[in-house]
Amino acid sequence: MKVNMKAPYTKSYRVEVGSAEGRSVFGLSGDFSISNLSAFTSEIDARIRAIRPAFLTMDFSAIRYLDSAAALAFLTIKKREAQNGVDCAFVHLSNEAERIFSVIPEAALAQPPLKPQTERHNVLIQIGQSSVHIARDLMAFITFIGELIAAAVYTIRHPASLRWKDVLFYMHRAGVDGLPIVALIGLLTGLIIAFMSFLQLKQIGANIYVPALVSFAMVKELGPLMTAILVAGRSGSAYAAEIGTMVVNEEVDALMTMGFNPIRFLAMPKVLATILVVPILTIYSDFFGILGGLIIGVTSLDLTVTTYVTQSVKTIKVFDVVTSLIKASVFAALIAAIGCQKGFQVRAGAQDVGKFTTSAVVTAIFMIVLTDSIFAIMFYYIK
Amino acid sequence: MDTDIITVENLTARFGTNIVFEEVSFNVRKGEILVIVGESGCGKSTLLKMMIGLNRPVAGQIRFQGADIFSSGEQILGAYRKSIGVLFQSSALLGSMTLRENIELPLGEYTDLSPEEIDRIIKMKLGMVNLAGYDHHYPSELSGGMKKRAGIARAMALDPQVLFFDELSAGLDPVTAVELDDLILKTNSALGTSMVIVTHELESIYKIAHRVLMLDKQARGIIAEGHPRELKERSTDPRVTNFFRRQKPEASF
Ligand SMILES: Nc1ncnc2c1ncn2[C@@H]1O[C@H](COP(=O)(O)OP(=O)(O)OP(=O)(O)O)[C@@H](O)[C@H]1O
Ligand SMILES: [Mg+2]
Nearest C-alpha in B relative to A169: B96
Nearest C-alpha in B relative to A162: B109
Q: Give the span between the Cα atoms of B149 and B155, in whole angstroms.
A: 10
**pLDDT average, residue stretch A270-290:** 96
**pLDDT average, residue stretch A330-352:** 93
Among residues B32, B22, B21, the alpha carbon closest in space to that of B212 is found at B32
Q: Give residue limits of the domains in chain A.
A: 13-109, 130-382
CB pair distance less than 8 Å for B109 and A255: no
**Contact assessment for residue A63 and residue A30, using Cβ atoms and an 8 Å cutoff:** yes
pTM for the whole thing? 0.77
Q: B11, B24, B42: which to mutate for ligand 1, most atoms within 8 A of CB?
A: B42
| Nearest ligand atom owner, CA of B38 | 1
CB pair distance less than 8 Å for A253 and B95: no
CB pair distance less than 8 Å for A254 and B106: no
**pLDDT average, residue stretch B90-94:** 89
Nearest C-alpha in A relative to B16: A117
A104 three-state secondary structure: coil
CA of B46 to the centre of ligand 2 (A): 7
CB-ligand 1 contact for B15 (6 Å cutoff): yes
Which atom number of ligand 1 is nearest to the Cα of residue B39? Answer: 25
Better-scored residue on pLDDT, A357 or A9: A357
Which atom number of ligand 1 is nearest to the Cα of residue A347? Answer: 1
Say what the pLDDT of residue A9 is.
Answer: 53
The strand order across the sheet containing A55-66 reads A13-20, A23-32, A55-66, A87-91
Say what the pLDDT of residue A189 is.
Answer: 95
**Topology at the third CATH level for domain B1-83+198-253:** Rossmann fold (3.40.50)
Q: Give the span between the Cα atoms of B224 and B206, in whole angstroms.
A: 16
Strand residues in B16-133 grouped as ranges (E): 18-29, 33-37, 59-64, 67-68, 84-87
Maximal CA-CA distance, chain B: 57
Residue B78 has pLDDT above 60, yes or no: yes
**pLDDT average, residue stretch A340-350:** 91
Among residues B196, B222, B164, the alpha carbon closest in space to that of B32 is found at B196
Q: Which residues between 87 and 106 in chain A have a beta carbon less than 8 angstroms from any beta carbon of chain B?
A: 99, 103
CB-ligand 1 contact for B51 (6 Å cutoff): no
Which atom number of ligand 1 is nearest to the Cα of residue B49? Answer: 18
Set of chain B residues whose Cβ sits within 8 Å of the Cβ of A254: 86, 88, 92-94
Closest to A258 (Cβ–Cβ): which among B49, B81, B90? B81
Confidence of residue B179 (pLDDT cuts 50, 70, 90): confident
Q: Give the span between the Cα atoms of B233 and B241, in whole angstroms.
A: 8
CA of B224 to the centre of ligand 1 (A): 20
* Contacts by residues A312-317 (CB-CB < 8 Å, ≥ 24 positions apart): A312/A211, A312/A212, A312/A214, A312/A215, A313/A215, A314/A212, A315/A211, A315/A212, A315/A215, A315/A216, A316/A215, A316/A216, A316/A219
Which residues lie below 8 Å from residue B202, measured CB to CB, with a gap of 6+?
A: B244, B246
Q: Give the span between the Cα atoms of B65 and B82, in whole angstroms.
A: 13
Confidence of residue A315 (pLDDT cuts 50, 70, 90): confident
A268-300 and A210-217 helices, crossing angle to 10°: 170
Q: Give the span between the Cα atoms of B203 and A101, in whole angstroms.
A: 31
Say what the pLDDT of residue B150 is.
Answer: 92
Provide the percentage of residues in chain A whose pLDDT is more than 90: 58
CB-ligand 1 contact for B199 (6 Å cutoff): no
Say what the pLDDT of residue A300 is.
Answer: 85
Provide the percentage of residues in chain B whose pLDDT is more than 70: 96
Q: Give residue limits of the domains in chain B.
A: 1-83+198-253
CB-ligand 1 contact for B110 (6 Å cutoff): no
Among residues A80, A27, A81, A74, the alpha carbon closest in space to that of A53 is found at A81
Confidence of residue B177 (pLDDT cuts 50, 70, 90): confident
Kindly report, residue by residue over B97-137, the tens digit of the pLDDT: 999 999 999 888 888 888 888 888 898 888 888 888 899 99
A251 touches chain B (CB under 8 A): yes
B100 three-state secondary structure: helix
CB-ligand 1 contact for B212 (6 Å cutoff): no
Residue count of chain B: 253
**pLDDT average, residue stretch A139-145:** 92
**Contact assessment for residue A25 and residue A17, using Cβ atoms and an 8 Å cutoff:** yes
Output the DSSP codes for A41-73. HHHHHHHHHHH--SEEEEEEEEEEEE-HHHHHH
Say what the pLDDT of residue A289 is.
Answer: 95
**Amino acid (1-letter code) at residue B219:** A
Say what the pLDDT of residue B172 is.
Answer: 79
Set of chain B residues whose Cβ sits within 8 Å of the Cβ of A260: 105, 109
CA of B247 to the centre of ligand 2 (A): 23
Q: Give the span between the Cα atoms of A334 and A361, in whole angstroms.
A: 11
Say what the pLDDT of residue B72 is.
Answer: 87
B95 three-state secondary structure: coil
Say what the pLDDT of residue B251 is.
Answer: 43
* Contacts by residues B132-135 (CB-CB < 8 Å, ≥ 24 positions apart): B134/B99, B135/B98, B135/B99, B135/B100
Provide the percentage of residues in chain A whose pLDDT is more than 70: 96
CB neighbours (10 Å) of residue A121?
Answer: 11
Closest to B92 (Cβ–Cβ): which among A117, A251, A259? A251
Q: For the complex shown, is ipTM > 0.85?
A: no
Say what the pLDDT of residue A117 is.
Answer: 61
Say what the pLDDT of residue A4 is.
Answer: 43
- Nearest protein CA to atom 1 of ligand 1, as residue: B15
CB pair distance less than 8 Å for A250 and B92: yes
B105 touches chain A (CB under 8 A): yes
Kindly report, residue by residue over B12-64, the tens digit of the pLDDT: 999 988 899 999 999 999 999 999 999 888 999 999 999 999 999 999 999 99
Q: How far is A244 from chain B (nearest CA, A)?
A: 13
Residue A365 has pLDDT above 90, yes or no: yes
Among residues A218, A235, A187, A383, the alpha carbon closest in space to that of A316 is found at A218
Confidence of residue B247 (pLDDT cuts 50, 70, 90): low
B23 three-state secondary structure: strand
Set of chain A residues whose Cβ sits within 8 Å of the Cβ of B84: 257
B224 three-state secondary structure: strand
CB pairs under 8 A between A and B: 51
Beta-strand pair B211-216/A87-91: unpaired
| Phi and psi torsions of B165, nearest 5° | -130, 125
Q: How far is B165 from chain A (nearest CA, A)?
A: 12
Residue B2 has pLDDT above 60, yes or no: no
Among residues A121, A60, A48, the alpha carbon closest in space to that of A86 is found at A48
Among residues A324, A322, A306, the alpha carbon closest in space to that of A314 is found at A306
Confidence of residue B242 (pLDDT cuts 50, 70, 90): confident
B110 touches chain A (CB under 8 A): yes
**Contact assessment for residue B157 and residue B137, using Cβ atoms and an 8 Å cutoff:** no
DSSP state of B163: E
CA of A191 to the centre of ligand 1 (A): 58
Better-scored residue on pLDDT, B236 or A236: A236
CB neighbours (10 Å) of residue B149?
Answer: 25
Kindly report, residue by residue over A178-220, the tens digit of the pLDDT: 999 999 999 999 999 999 998 888 888 888 889 999 999 999 9
**pLDDT average, residue stretch A88-110:** 85
Kindly report, residue by residue over A154-168, the tens digit of the pLDDT: 999 999 889 999 999
C-alpha distances in angstroms, A86 versus A45, A71, A81? Answer: 13, 19, 5
Say what the pLDDT of residue A51 is.
Answer: 87
Residue A331 has pLDDT above 50, yes or no: yes
Kindly report, residue by residue over B148-175, the tens digit of the pLDDT: 999 999 998 888 999 999 888 877 788 8
CB-ligand 1 contact for B221 (6 Å cutoff): no
* Mean per-residue pLDDT over chain B, rounded: 88
Strand partners, A63: A30
Strand partners, A335: none
CA of B65 to the centre of ligand 1 (A): 29
Q: Give the span between the Cα atoms of B197 and B61, in whole angstroms.
A: 20
Highest mean pLDDT among A98-107, A288-297, B232-241 belongs to A288-297
Confidence of residue A380 (pLDDT cuts 50, 70, 90): confident
Residue count of chain A: 383
Alpha helices in chain A (DSSP H): 37-51, 68-83, 95-102, 106-110, 123-157, 164-174, 179-201, 210-217, 223-231, 237-248, 251-257, 262, 268-300, 305-315, 318-345, 349-382
- CATH, range A13-109: 3.30.750.24
- State which H helix or E strand residue B109 sits in: helix B99-110
**Contact assessment for residue B94 and residue B140, using Cβ atoms and an 8 Å cutoff:** no
Say what the pLDDT of residue A96 is.
Answer: 86
